[in-house]
Amino acid sequence: MASQVEQTVAKLLAGTGVTLNGSATYDLQVHNPRFYHRVLAQGSLGFGESYMDGWWDCDALDELISRFLTARLEKQGHSWRLLLPFLWSHLLNLQSGSRAFTIGRRHYDLGNDLYETMLDARMTYTCGYWQKATTLDEAQEAKLDLVCRKLNLKRGQRVLDIGCGWGSFAGFAAEKYGANVVGVTVSKEQVALAKQRYPNSPVEFRLADYRTLNEKFNHIVSLGMFEHVGVKNYRTYFQVARRCLDDAGLFLLHTIGGNRSVHNTDPWIEKYIFPNSMLPSAAQITAAMEGLFIMEDWHSFGTDYDKTLLAWWHNVQQHWPELQAKYGERFYRMWRFYLLACAGSFRARKNQLWQIVLSPNGVPGGYSSIR
């Protein structure tokens, strides 16, 4: 006979189509009965940690999460423990200059071998563009080309890449469009590998916080970095971009977005994947840029991130025998939960992906949207 806590969890799942220990690929298979107490007491943090500990499994983890979020399951369970990140984010600036390099050390410096096997050939750690693509490499090349076309990038122009990663955009823009690119990142491993990958290109990579920038560029791009800025710093971020952008230039912001304004992120993501991160809302972005930029275009294609994340997980699975000795089983389960839970979140339309084109004074005659 099921215990009271098991019955409580089963009742919470009733509207999701998910069954405890059922036969569907998205059903939750519980191996340790302590799971029920843990998830009720600790919410999403306990849910993710108990998966890492092997207390439960699910064949289609991405679909499980998608069903949870579509049913708005997160609104049915609450824990005082979940209030701490919320209160902490209101009291402190978790993305201050002194904390800027934390995300580099804890996430992007995990190991270039991991990211080289997971990502496409250019090592692009942002959403691909799958409109006509059939492979991850094609989707990422299409995304990088889309960015260049939206900027109307010309040979010889100087571009700033805020959050340059391993140099994928810089290398592409230099090779395909003849641009000169300066990329900044807070990851020392990214800088080291980017310099190795593009030794003879007109690109420069710097280990630097964006707040230190004060020089002019024809255009600015920022692909997948704004999620680390934090709401307390949004205005500063746009002020830096404005002071570095020529009056006739364009600024393309590529970011994951949320459907409502928040001041913190999911506790499990905060602890294990992206410390001091949060997803901006459309309202927060527009408020922070007001008076600094004119919005020329807003392109939403978050469902493409579902495909991108699944492709990344496929690559990790395929290359796991090469990585297993270094990273171990618990990391494998953590990384699987991260990638597939995020895929489910985009599938449920809980998260969005936006490309926003901004100009300082408005494009004369108007901006033509490019897709």
Tokens standing for 228?
């680390």
Q: At 52, phi and psi to the nearest 5?
A: -60, -35
* Short-list 225, 258, 264, 226, CA closest to 92: 264
Contact 268, 49 (CB under 8 A): yes
Q: What is the pLDDT of residue 107?
A: 73
DSSP string, 7-67: HHHHHHTTTTT--BT-SSTTSBEES-THHHHHHHHHHHHHHHHHHHTTSEE-TTHHHHHHH
Q: Which CATH architecture has domain 97-318+348-359?
A: 3-Layer(aba) Sandwich (3.40)
Name every residue whose Cβ is closer than 8 Å to that of residue 231 and which is 6 or more positions away in sequence.
261, 263, 278, 280, 284
Q: Dump strand ranges (E) for 42-157.
A: 56-57
Q: List, by residue number, the catalytic residues.
A: 342
pTM value is: 0.91
pLDDT at 104: 60
Helix (H, G, I), strand (E, B) or coil at 232: helix
86 has a pLDDT exceeding 50: no
Share of the chain above pLDDT 90, in %: 81
Q: Report the candidate in 347, 332, 96 with the shortest Cα–Cα distance to residue 230.
A: 96
| Cβ atoms 70, 346 nearer than 8 A | no
Q: Has residue 174 got a pLDDT over 60?
A: yes
Residue 19: how many CA atoms within 13 Å on its side-chain side? 5
Angle between helices 303-347 and 136-151 (to 10 degrees): 110
Query: Which helix (H) or strand (E) segment is 163 a member of?
Result: none
Smallest CA-to-CA distance from 221 within 250, 183, 252, 247 is with 252
Every domain of the chain and the residues it spans: 4-78, 97-318+348-359
Structure tokens that stand for 35 in this block: 């799971």
Could you report the per-residue pLDDT of 188-228, keeping only the tens digit for each? 999 999 999 999 899 999 999 999 999 999 999 999 999 99
Contact 198, 167 (CB under 8 A): yes
Among the ranges 2-11, 89-98, 99-108, 226-235, which has the highest mean pLDDT value? 226-235
Q: How far is CA 267 from the centre of its chain?
A: 15
Sign for the pseudo-dihedral over CA of 258, 262, 264, 268: negative
Strands 180-185 and 158-162: parallel
Q: Tell me the mean pLDDT in the region 62-76.
A: 85
Element (DSSP H or E) covering residue 180: strand 180-185
pLDDT at 101: 54
% the chain with pLDDT above 70: 91
Q: Is residue 311 over pLDDT 80?
A: yes
